[in-house]
A and B are shown apart, each in its own frame.
Chain A
């Protein structure tokens, strides 16, 4: 089993739709989790860090479920500009810090 697995996608949704991405992980020693957004042929950009209590930033909500070992990202009221690949990643705290990424899920928001 891969350490981080994501919904295969692609997700094709109309503008205004709500879309949810899930990501499962193995190795419960992971301490930190992230969602990155990557536009075509560009670098990943941090969208949100994911905390145990869940966190929200405008139309985006991220949640972490340690018991079931998954993280989720909810995008409400999708915009055309949300079209991108969404990568989930887990990292380790302390003196380590490399990120382990999933393969990413492509989102296309259509007019």
Chain B
């Protein structure tokens, strides 16, 4: 049973560039959440996708956008990269059951460095 997978594992970009990160949820899961974890901090919620729509959003600017595909996989896009976007980007998947979200399982993350 494959867990949550993310690609790429590492990425180096320069300021102003755009980046796309990818996530495949755990088998049987239908909900994908994205988190940003800066060094020494806990993960911060970016947004959550369910049924191909953004359902909830944290306190992140519009430069952060996403998408969910019919197979439940998801992408996170960040435009106009800033140095402060350097972080570990975590994808978490879960299953909605009777309107409630079950436990979230995290992928290994994509480590983004913006120079």
Q: Which of B41, B58, B96, B106 has most chain A Cβ within 10 Å?
A: B106
B40 on the A face (CB < 8 A): yes
List residues 19-67 of chain B with CB under 8 A from any CB of chain A. 31, 33, 35, 40-45, 48, 55-56, 58
Q: How far is the CB of B107 from chain A (nearest CB, A)?
A: 6
Specify the chain A residue showing the minimal Cβ separation from B101: A97
Specify the chain A residue showing the minimal Cβ separation from B100: A93
CB contacts (< 8 Å) of A89 on chain B: these are: 42
CA gap between A95 and B45 in the complex, in Å: 16
A16 on the B face (CB < 8 A): no
A110 on the B face (CB < 8 A): no
The A-B contact count (CB < 8 A) is 63
- A72-111 vs B, CB cutoff 8 Å, 1 = contact: the mask equals 0000000000000001010101111111111110000000
Residues B43 and A101 in contact, CB atoms below 8 Å apart: yes
- Given A89-B42, A99-B33, A102-B42: 19 more A-B contacts, CB < 8 Å: A41-B111, A42-B108, A42-B109, A43-B107, A44-B106, A46-B103, A49-B103, A91-B101, A91-B104, A93-B100, A95-B55, A95-B99, A96-B55, A97-B33, A97-B56, A97-B100, A98-B33, A104-B41, A104-B42
| Chain B residues within 8 Å of A, Cβ to Cβ | 31, 33, 35, 40-45, 48, 55-56, 58, 90, 92, 94, 96, 99-101, 103-109, 111
